[in-house]
Each structure stands twice: as structure tokens, then as C-alpha cells.
Amino acid sequence: MVKYSLDDIKKKVDELALKINASTNLLPSYGQQKWDAHPYIEVDDLGFMFFIISERGQEYERKMTDKLDDLLYWIFAGVTFSMSCNYELKNRIEDKDGRRLIFKKQEELLGILNETWRQKEILEHQDILKNYPFDDLASLRATYCGKLRKQGYSEIEINKLAYAKYPEN
């Protein structure tokens, strides 16, 4: 097993981040927890690398690998997702499910870094869509629900009116 130091990992992450113009605030920290749900990376004495997310004293995610490629994928799946969400916010199409833009942009960014990562993310997105298909009218429906709520309608009435006006795909 090849052992990588935190400096080796950081150097590789910084290199890849430049390729997609990722902001440094999206990149993980190394060896030091911030407890703010920001990812951080650790390496143990055996050379295993850890991708960890913790917040307020509680660990939410911990992945372990001895393969640098796996660790980099985990890091950049998160980085590109954040970048893609920002892209969607700036380019929102009101009558389209925001995930259409998010998924497409994330796949594009990962493809710049590594074609295998792009293919892996495409499969992840397809998996998500099996259980949660695109709903192009969700944003319009949510806005309409807010208006009805302000007018004093009950939640039952709101749902009935909103889905009548903006049905699910």
C-alpha cells in the first residue's frame, strides 16, 4: 500500500481544484477537525486515509480507504456538488427541477477531473432519480403554496390547490 501524507493529499487536491476553479473554502481541511460540517482528511499510521464530516461534536460521516483515487472522488463529489448548486442558483429555470442543472453541471465538472468519476456520478444520479424523479413544477408549486399560506388557507387546502394548479410530472 502506498502511504500518502496530508501534504501529499493537499497538494493533489489543490492541483485538481485549480482545474475546475474551485474556491478554497470548498476544499477540506487536513488533520484538524473544525466541527462545522466541513469535510476534513486524516491519515493514520498505517496509511489509511479518512474522509470525515463532523459537526457540534458529532461525527456524521467517516469513510476509510487506502486508495488515493477513492479519497479524491469523495472530496470532489462534494466540491463539485456545491459548485453545481451555486451554478443552478445563478441560472435557475423556474419551471425545471433544479437538479437537472445541478446534476449536469456536476457531471461536467467531474469529467474535467476524471472521466471515471463522471461515470460514477452519473450512476449515483440515476439511482437518486429512481426513487425521486424530476419534478419540474416543484418550485412553482412551492411558491404558490407560500402565497396560499399567507392568505390563511389550511395545509390540506393548500396541497389540494397547489397540486391541481401544478401537478407532479
**pLDDT band, residue 33 (cuts 50/70/90):** confident
Question: Measuring CA to CA, which residue among 121, 167, 125 is closest to residue 144?
Answer: 167
The DSSP bridge partners found for residue 135 are: none
List Cβ neighbours of 47 (8 Å cut-off, separation of 6 or more).
1, 2, 3, 4, 66
| Mean pLDDT to the nearest integer, 23-27 | 96
Considering only residues 41 and 2, tell me which one the structure prediction assigns the higher pLDDT. 41
pLDDT score of 79: 98
List Cβ neighbours of 94 (8 Å cut-off, separation of 6 or more).
139, 140
**pLDDT band, residue 35 (cuts 50/70/90):** confident
Global pTM reads 0.90
| Mean pLDDT to the nearest integer, 16-29 | 97
> What is the tens place of the pLDDT at every residue in 83-140?
999 999 999 999 999 999 999 999 999 999 999 999 999 999 999 999 999 999 999 9
How many CA atoms lie within 13 Å of 148's alpha carbon, on the beta-carbon side?
A: 18
